[in-house]
Amino acid sequence: MMFPLKRLLIGRPLKSTELGEQKLNKTKALAILSSDALSSVAYGPEQILIVLITISAAAFWYSIPIAIGVLILLTALILSYRQIIFAYPHGGGAYVVSKNNLGVNSGLIAGGSLLVDYILTVAVSVSAGTDAITSAFPALHSHNVMIAIIFVIFLTILNLRGVTESASILAYPVYLFVLALFILIGVGLWNIATGTVPPELHTPIGTPVAGISLFLLLKAFASGSSALTGVEAISNAIPNFKDPAPKNAAKTLTFMGGLLAILLSGIVFLSYYYGVVPSVEVTVVSQIAEETFGRNFMYFFIQGTTALILILAANTGYTAFPLLAVNLAKDKFIPRMFTIRGDRLGYSNGIIFLAISSIFLIIIFKGQTEHLIPLYAVGVFIPFTLSQTGMVVKWVREKPKGWVGKLIINALGAIICLVVTLMFFITKFTQVWSVLIFVPVIMFVFQRIKNHYEAVGDQLRITEDNHAVPIEGNVIIVPVAGITRVVENSLNYAKSLNANQIIAVYISFERDEEKKFEEKWNKWQPDIRLVTLHSQYRSIIQPLTKFVDIVQHKASEANYGVTVVIPQFLPKKGWQNILHNQSSLLIRAFLLYRRDVMITTVPFHLKK
Amino acid sequence: MMFPLKRLLIGRPLKSTELGEQKLNKTKALAILSSDALSSVAYGPEQILIVLITISAAAFWYSIPIAIGVLILLTALILSYRQIIFAYPHGGGAYVVSKNNLGVNSGLIAGGSLLVDYILTVAVSVSAGTDAITSAFPALHSHNVMIAIIFVIFLTILNLRGVTESASILAYPVYLFVLALFILIGVGLWNIATGTVPPELHTPIGTPVAGISLFLLLKAFASGSSALTGVEAISNAIPNFKDPAPKNAAKTLTFMGGLLAILLSGIVFLSYYYGVVPSVEVTVVSQIAEETFGRNFMYFFIQGTTALILILAANTGYTAFPLLAVNLAKDKFIPRMFTIRGDRLGYSNGIIFLAISSIFLIIIFKGQTEHLIPLYAVGVFIPFTLSQTGMVVKWVREKPKGWVGKLIINALGAIICLVVTLMFFITKFTQVWSVLIFVPVIMFVFQRIKNHYEAVGDQLRITEDNHAVPIEGNVIIVPVAGITRVVENSLNYAKSLNANQIIAVYISFERDEEKKFEEKWNKWQPDIRLVTLHSQYRSIIQPLTKFVDIVQHKASEANYGVTVVIPQFLPKKGWQNILHNQSSLLIRAFLLYRRDVMITTVPFHLKK
């Protein structure tokens, strides 16, 4: 039953050789990798104004220089990540760059905070998109959590189906959103140019404002730069691109940077010119749209595509998380299962893990994930800072042609990112302190896992002086519960193995049955030695384990192996299993995990 | 961690030979087997009055003749069950008697309805007792379900500890309840004899009442006879008695009948003489107690012990259910696990099953189990009727000395029980119809289970012409994942078995690694044949299963057995298991359930 359902949802399995067909061209890559970055246009400018309004509406003109600062940061990031793409064409982004240049611990800080961050991305963006929808349809409001979870499941299925398929479906809403904002900005600027909008709505740039401080401006800048989260996604996902992957990735990154810059400056400028005041009920974009078009079709088109892209921003997490997990798993910091490709060639374990974790967050926070946003921004800027610093170290160390220019770009980026990170810690400590706990915890776990894998590797490696002792003979123990065909079957098998000794073990609960059984046995199998063990406490495991210990002790002296042959009969239908004592499973589990004996299960399939 | 907790709650395991010490003397047996029957005194008389009040308070004098009718029924039941005890000294009550004399289907009807009934007993009595407590402390009222569940868990632990221990603890409340009612009845009669109570409170017996009908009187009689539920418990539990078990059981039964008769007639008489009118808020016993003592210590003593005995009535279910289950399981109508004695020699599986089912009922009905009472009464009177009829058939068939007298007793009992049963169906059909569905369903399930066990028995039995074909040789398949000590270990084991052929199987996901691996292998293990399978869909199970099928097909032609040797390495700590692909478990489960091959697990215990 599960199987056809899986086929229906996920599609037929793909051969490993079909991997190439799953690669992305630039148009699709832009759609699925930039939804996170582009969607931040919907809330980034608003974040700046929310900080400035704490002084007065007169301070709004500062949003222009702050936006210019954000654009400079964006430019530095884009240039810097272009350099990273070419330097590390196999992807991995901040984790790989930090690890290779700054050492393992820096890499783990970057990798750990990004892993958590992608989970936050999914939870936060899906919740935000759901809020946008339920604001339009208030009747749905009480089902917020359920709707968010359904979206997560939808995205999960889409991503399990494979990268290209999700790209084809997701491309439309992303480009529609870009189109909608372009129209909005275009018409808005036209209105300004033609003088339809009165210029009195805003204070001129340069107006002195009482109470403004550098601290406040930096806080507004940090808030605004939360619009840059998601910029690193492309550098993590290079392996998903069509060849030549690095070149295509770099072009896509530049194009995305351009789009982001246009949309960001357009929205900031319009909101400044229109004198938009941020409010709890209506978003800044919504106010601009209403100012420009009134409440007509275009207004709802903009609102609709915005809600959609907020949800789809989660998809960036789905693309980047599994690839980062693969890099961490290859380095043995997280379980190896994250490196396995599923039926549709996606890294399904990573996708499923991401889905479960983000659903978990949505449920815990009851869909109110807004207060996770600063946490999420910090989780992005820590790895930003580390990877830029890593690049600086790389240039200094390698000194390739033109390294000074590259160094300046990355150094500038590193400094700005560091400042933004610090601003988050200083101005929003109550919301981001938990990073200081969970990053060390994650690093500790990573290290424990790595240690385990290395210890295992050492023990499994075959070296010259480290050979297994050959087994020179075998003792076979067959626990028997009666004289039945199942037992006969197992004995026949044991006999066929040319073992040095076969011992049948019967465990009795009552003294009087013992003799009877021994007599019957001697008639039935006179050539196989029967040992009868009495179990005072009606347990099978205890006396059997003791007996196995004794046999093993003797056998090991002669380098003999001990095999316990367990007869197991398998009913035809699953429900029938509860009608039988599952002693054979119990014996097997107990002996295998605690003793060094071979366990052979001889099946006896029931036919009716 | 689980182990010490279990020891603390349940106690140290007991040896099978200590079973004798767990047997009950008459005093303890009366306490744990009669709590159900005695507790019905608390609501039986009330049930009669509730029916009569539908005419008028003048009709209350009819409670006296009705109570006499109930006493006659009680006498018939006690005499009849005494006869059953001596005729069936190994217990089993209604199920065994009906099965032996009326045929398997009648037995199953009796057994099935009693099984369900004991679950209802537990749910209903614990809920009733909890209600009594939360009526006294209304603050607890919203925690009804939780309190009832805690009581069920308490009784479960008590019964898992063993029969004698629960008897010792439960004896006090039962005898205190009996004592309290004796004092109540004694003082009440003294007050009447000394003329303290005015005789005007009641209408004299024989006063003509308008609107009275035979139907109504029969309904009142049926309701009153719900006070007789639990009478059969002793006949089910004969094996729990000290030797001579049947004699002791019969004496206990008679003594219980006497107690029940005294308490029942006392309460009915006092309530008639005091002119008590049944009300929703205050029970009849509570009204009599208040009338007799006022609200002083004795009143609360009576109320307290009543609440307690209502909860303890559930214990009758705990004693009788596991024993009935053993009888059904021995006849293969329910899973065999119900015949296994636990650490403390009680039939723990039955006890635990009963606990889970009744907690389930309490949760579903949110602790409001009153409307289950008629269902529960019908569930008792159906087996009553069947067992009495069975005894009638037995006497007619066997004709022992004095059989006519015995026949008359049982025939009388059977007829009264049948009438009561029919009255329930006629007067309370809306509450008891579900019996007509679940009894057939249970019988169907019983029959399915029996059929399965018999089919299994047939297949396991060794007959002359039905011998297993001896295995004349062995082919061993070793799936290998690399060149490691784990694999070396398994190969050494395979080599030691003198198999006719050993084949190592390597499953590759990528074409280029295949050749490399083959070269390495040939250097390492030149004498063991390596088969490389390419898995296009990255699954291990599919190509391996196909290969096993091919090998098995060839092997079976020569009567060779096929053994798959699976290397499994076992990490030192449990959590480390998630760091490894559990392929070996998967392969084992898959091959074992679907193919006829032996599966050997060669453990490799990691040391760090």
| Backbone phi, psi, residue A505, to 5° | -120, 125
Beta strand pairing call for A560-570 and A473-480? parallel
- pTM score: 0.75
- Domain-embedded: residue B188: yes
Domain boundary (A417, A452, A487) is at A452
Give residue A124's pLDDT.
86
CA distance A150 to A50: 31
Which residues in chain B are contacts of A468 at CB distance < 8 A? 485, 488-489, 492
pLDDT in tens, B83-110: 888 888 877 578 888 999 999 999 999 9
B21 pLDDT higher than 70: no
| Residue contact B336–A497, C-beta within 8 A | no
- The structure tokens listed for B432 are 């008891």
Give residue B185's pLDDT.
93
Give residue B8's pLDDT.
72
Domain boundary (B452, B481, B501) is at B452
B430 pLDDT higher than 70: yes
| Residue contact B485–A601, C-beta within 8 A | no
Q: Which residue bears the tokens 């004092």?
A: B183
Give residue A1's pLDDT.
44
Mean of per-residue pLDDT scores for chain A: 85
Same domain, B165 and B73: yes
- Domain-embedded: residue B459: no
CA distance B420 to B414: 10
Same domain, B307 and B428: yes
The amino acid that residue A251 corresponds to is K
Give residue B92's pLDDT.
56
| Residue contact B485–A471, C-beta within 8 A | no
Residues 2-31 of A with CB under 8 A from B: 13-17
Give residue B379's pLDDT.
86
- The structure tokens listed for A287 are 């106010």
CA distance to partner chain B, nearest, from residue A547 (Å) = 19
Q: Which domain holds residue A300?
A: 2-452
pLDDT in tens, B113-138: 989 989 998 998 888 888 877 776 77
Which residues in chain A are contacts of B592 at CB distance < 8 A? 568, 570, 601, 603
B316 pLDDT higher than 60: yes
pLDDT in tens, B358-373: 999 888 888 777 677 7
| Residue contact A496–B486, C-beta within 8 A | no
Beta bridge partners of A605: A570
Interface pTM, i.e. ipTM? 0.76
Q: Provide the percentage of residues in chain B whose pLDDT is more than 70.
A: 96
DSSP-derived secondary structure letter, A241? B
| Residue contact A456–B600, C-beta within 8 A | no
Same domain, A310 and A415: yes
Residues 524-563 of B with CB under 8 A from A: 524, 536-538, 561, 563
**Total domains in the fold of chain A:** 2
Q: Identify the residue among B337, B344, B559, B579 best suited for mutation to test binding to A, counting A beta carbons within 10 A and taking the highest.
A: B579
**Mean of pLDDT values over B181-197:** 90
Give residue B3's pLDDT.
61
Residue A463 contacts B, CB cutoff 8 Å: no
- Domain-embedded: residue B463: no
Looking at chain A, which residue has its C-alpha nearest residue B451? Answer: A608
CA distance B256 to B30: 7
CA distance B249 to B236: 10
pLDDT in tens, B392-412: 999 999 998 888 988 998 898
Helix (H) or strand (E) holding B603: strand B598-605
Give residue A478's pLDDT.
93
Same domain, B506 and B395: no
Give residue B268's pLDDT.
92
- The number of C-alpha atoms within 13 Å of B172 and in the hemisphere containing its C-beta is 5
Contact A86, A242 (CB under 8 A): no
- Domain-embedded: residue A20: yes
Enumerate residue ranges in chain A where pLDDT < 50: 1
Same domain, B291 and B420: yes
Give residue B11's pLDDT.
74
| Residue contact B472–A581, C-beta within 8 A | no
* DSSP line for A37-86: HHHGGGTHHHHHHHHHTTT-GGGGGGHHHHHHHHHHHHHHHHHHHHHHHH
pLDDT in tens, A293-315: 888 888 888 888 888 888 888 88
- Domain-embedded: residue A286: yes
Closest to A471 (Cβ–Cβ): which among B452, B493, B598? B493
- The structure tokens listed for B485 are 């000590």
| Backbone phi, psi, residue A479, to 5° | -70, 130
Residue A462 contacts B, CB cutoff 8 Å: yes
Same domain, A445 and A531: no
Same domain, B444 and B477: no
Beta strand pairing call for B473-480 and B560-570? parallel
Closest CA to A92 of A233, A253, A245: A233
Residue B453 contacts A, CB cutoff 8 Å: yes
**A244 prior amide bond cis, ω within 30:** yes
Closest to B16 (Cβ–Cβ): which among A340, A486, A509? A509
Give residue B367's pLDDT.
76
- Domain-embedded: residue B467: no
Of B412 and B236, more confident: B412
Secondary structure, 3-state, B130-177: HHHHHHHCHHHHHHHHHHHHHHHHHHHHHHHHCHHHHHHHHHHHHHHH
Same domain, A556 and A585: yes
Give residue A466's pLDDT.
65
Same domain, A379 and A515: no
Domain boundary (A422, A452, A482) is at A452
CA distance B150 to A115: 43
Same domain, A406 and A502: no
Looking up residue A600, the CATH number of its domain turns out to be 3.40.50
CA distance B364 to B362: 6
Closest CA to A426 of A222, A224, A212, A226: A222
Give residue A201's pLDDT.
75
Q: Which residue bears the tokens 């040095």?
A: A500
Q: Provide the percentage of residues in chain B whose pLDDT is more than 90.
A: 25
Mean of per-residue pLDDT scores for chain B: 85
Looking up residue A16, the CATH number of its domain turns out to be 1.20.1740.10
Give residue A513's pLDDT.
83
- Domain-embedded: residue A461: no
pLDDT in tens, B520-551: 999 988 989 999 998 887 788 888 989 999 99
| Residue contact B581–A474, C-beta within 8 A | no
Give residue A151's pLDDT.
92
The answer for residues whose C-beta is within 8 angstroms of residue A350's C-beta and 6 or more apart is A321, A322, A323, A325, A326, A338
Same domain, B183 and B315: yes
- The number of C-alpha atoms within 13 Å of B215 and in the hemisphere containing its C-beta is 7
- Domain-embedded: residue A467: no
Residues 46-75 of A with CB under 8 A from B: none
Give residue B2's pLDDT.
53
Which residues in chain B are contacts of A576 at CB distance < 8 A? 452
Helix axes A297-312, A284-293, angle to 10 degrees: 160
Same domain, B398 and B528: no
| Backbone phi, psi, residue A499, to 5° | -75, 160
Burial A509-547 (b: 16+ CB within 10 A, else e): beeeebeebeeebeeebeebebebbebeebebbbbbeeb
| Residue contact A460–B601, C-beta within 8 A | no
The answer for residues whose C-beta is within 8 angstroms of residue B378's C-beta and 6 or more apart is B113, B421, B424, B425, B432, B435
Contact A58, A205 (CB under 8 A): no
